[in-house]
Structure 1
């Protein structure tokens, strides 16, 4: 662990211990209040954590990530009951912007046995709950939801937009329907928190008004979520919960409250583990990961044995499907020269824009190329498309259709690089320093460089030297052996896992 990591995890553990006495319905609330959502956007705190002397402010001194994970293992275990029989009921899929299950893959699930769950209001042809379930809410009896009304083309909107329409005939419910007024309870718990905050009036973190406001608001939303989740699981018979990430307080509460009723949870991996900050602590009964790399990484960082399985992700199942986008039309629409190789560059807004500019300049001097830029999260053409005449926007083409029509991909350390390799495209990574860096792409060796000129030269060598191409292809295949299994569809593996936990 470097200085930043030691200070970061130690500060997080301090927060847990300092506020663990704030309890609602038997749950210690700081475990659900996602401290990173306050810390990570705060540049001043993030810079301070990189200094050795910051440890003088801390009571805890975490030596390894495993030490921190074990604290959460104990928390989850303390709220987990073991059933003599597997729970019966519906498989709940929580929809949010990170789940990204394609509708075509969702159709593979047992639609009568599956509930889609939103945390926001449902719009369009809204799914409604049957009178039987409404009555059950009043009388607190658990019932299957077989008689609820289902609809086609239900579009779910969350606090964060869900990025697809469901074409399935599945029941869709919202946790918002289970909300109620618990204002008095919230006031009592916030009052307890204020007393603690007053006690810490000279604390390096807790004394700031911004932190005080953040904590009190988090206590409120977490309590509301616990209450709604308990009502949902009390009134609907559930056998398993599937979520996208347990760093969302909504998903974390779903997983832990489910565990308290003996209901297992599955957490899908929503992106590569480029930084540990987005993946620790691990919470769910089983984390469904991309490959051997993640399985070993979680276990080495304290995940309980048997709690990590290589499943992949259903959205990657689409990669093997042949693109319907014709290359000639693709080239014409984007304004590409059909006589040149085409390289896609994945960028994230203005991040590292000068490095990308230098890389494009180096490439352009050495070899004639078409360059297309996939700009995330914006859909607007990237500013560099206006600087270079041979650099174009990918416009509204789907990522996998772009892969089918380019000859190589260059990316920062993102999931795009893995997806391109699964698409059998040569991939080059512009390395960068990130907090909690896991060096995910390190085994690509010479295909990953921090220096833009060196990276550009690797791209040029790949296209101009057969020996470099052969070596690059071998590196990619070796990487994929650890990073992603492609011999079986992910959705098939996920269904097997769900059935094993519930049947």
Structure 2
């Protein structure tokens, strides 16, 4: 779609930003398809994929007698709450799938001049997915026939199961909530909104959705329960931490958070610039995607080259321990920036992402966001050498958090929201 020759007539297919959600709502909230009558009081269904609700929240806030966790786990219970899996409700409906594939092929034949629907790759991808879409819809319908559910919580609607839970739920009058699974980095991961409510981290997200045509009454200002643990996290002793990573407690320790599609030249330059100053040492934590795909060579090579670098590639849930012990965090555009700020740690953001668009999510942090490795290194130095600069950072942090809904009680706010929807 980025190619110059994508379409000479593309403008007639372009939606204005404020029309994105209303365009989809013509179908998603069609009165003929949605159930408006009150549903019988039932249980709360939580799709465990992507919701990232912490164990403490499950155990202290959710009633096991009124909650069901949808999971791929073979266990009967998680955190004392009953578990269901879609596997035992699966239905394929091959005849329906075959007919829909033929219908789609017929429609595509009449779209030979359309910039997207005429595209061979798009057509083949869509046709291959139809059987899975039909299977998922049929399975979820069967699932709701067997369980009395009156509220659904999902962590994203970017995945097919969560979308279908929301859509089929709406057809049955079941209210749904979508938690925010990460920072807003692109419309395709967050729009359209399929659920009755979308929970947001703060004012930035609220305005972002309003600008794209979502009605304000569908925006839930609750933050995210996964951040509640930050406010109760017990800070460990420093010595075992430094011993684990073979670090020098006399130096400033920076946690470096990476991510996919980072400019390797700029990243390497930043690391070199920081370590040119002997008072720093670094723990580099690659993104889980990079670890899973074996894309950590650049970091492991740096570890071999510099004595002051340790690379943490363990899959254990150790992030909050890392943040709580270090002196500061250097991160790409990531939720770890928000988590570090909530931990009251200084953050230094390198915007080295190789992307087809600009992201302004952390624009409020001003010069703490840099695309130049040299400038960011200077800012790091200023913070640790100047009390005045530290004071300036504290003001930026306070102003940033003023627009955040994450204050340690998001789990309670989620329960309150579910109760309001179930009234």
**Fold in common (TM above 0.5):** yes
Q: Match for residue 344 of structure 1?
A: 255
Q: Match for residue 366 of structure 2?
A: 445
Tell me the distance in 2 between the aligned counterparts of 1:301 and 1:181.
36
Q: 1:392 aligns with which of 310, 314, 319?
A: 310
Contact 1:178/1:229 (<8 A) preserved? yes
- The 3-state SS of whatever aligns with 2:374 is helix
Contact 2:224/2:406 (<8 A) preserved? no
1:315-336 deviation per Cα after TM superposition (whole angstroms, max 9, x unaligned)? 1111122336431111111111
Query: Which runs of structure 2 are paired with 1:291-330 in the superposition (5 Å)?
Result: 291-323=202-234, 325-330=236-241
- The 3-state SS of whatever aligns with 1:230 is helix
1:308-365 deviation per Cα after TM superposition (whole angstroms, max 9, x unaligned)? 0111111111112233643111111111111111111101257322212111222222
- The 3-state SS of whatever aligns with 1:425 is coil
- Once the two structures are overlaid, the 10-residue window that deviates more, 419-428 or 383-392, is 383-392
Tell me the distance in 2 between the aligned counterparts of 1:195 and 1:86.
39
Tell me the distance in 2 between the aligned counterparts of 1:74 and 1:436.
28
Structure 2 gap ranges (5+) = none
Contact 1:73/1:304 (<8 A) preserved? no
- The 3-state SS of whatever aligns with 1:270 is coil
Q: Match for residue 223 of structure 1?
A: 134
Contact 1:268/1:288 (<8 A) preserved? yes
Q: 1:77 aligns with which of 29, 34, 38?
A: 29
Cα pair distance change 1:325/1:310, threshold 3 Å: same
Question: Number of paired residues?
Answer: 410
Tell me the distance in 2 between the aligned counterparts of 1:109 and 1:183.
38
Q: Match for residue 93 of structure 1?
A: 46
1:189-228 deviation per Cα after TM superposition (whole angstroms, max 9, x unaligned)? 1111122233345655444543332111221111111111
Quote the offset at 1:184 in angstroms: 0.9
Query: Which runs of structure 2 are paired with 1:362-377 in the superposition (5 Å)?
Result: 362-366=273-277, 368-377=279-288
TM value normalised by structure 2: 0.91
Q: Match for residue 417 of structure 1?
A: 337
- Once the two structures are overlaid, the 10-residue window that deviates more, 337-346 or 227-236, is 227-236
1:254-311 deviation per Cα after TM superposition (whole angstroms, max 9, x unaligned)? 1111111111100000001133332121221001111122112211211123000111
Higher relative contact order (CA 8 A, sep 6+): 2
Tell me the distance in 2 between the aligned counterparts of 1:63 and 1:439.
21
Query: Which runs of structure 2 are paired with 1:271-310 in the superposition (5 Å)?
Result: 271-310=182-221
Structure 1 gap ranges (5+) = 1-44, 128-150, 152-165
CA-atom RMSD in angstroms: 2.1
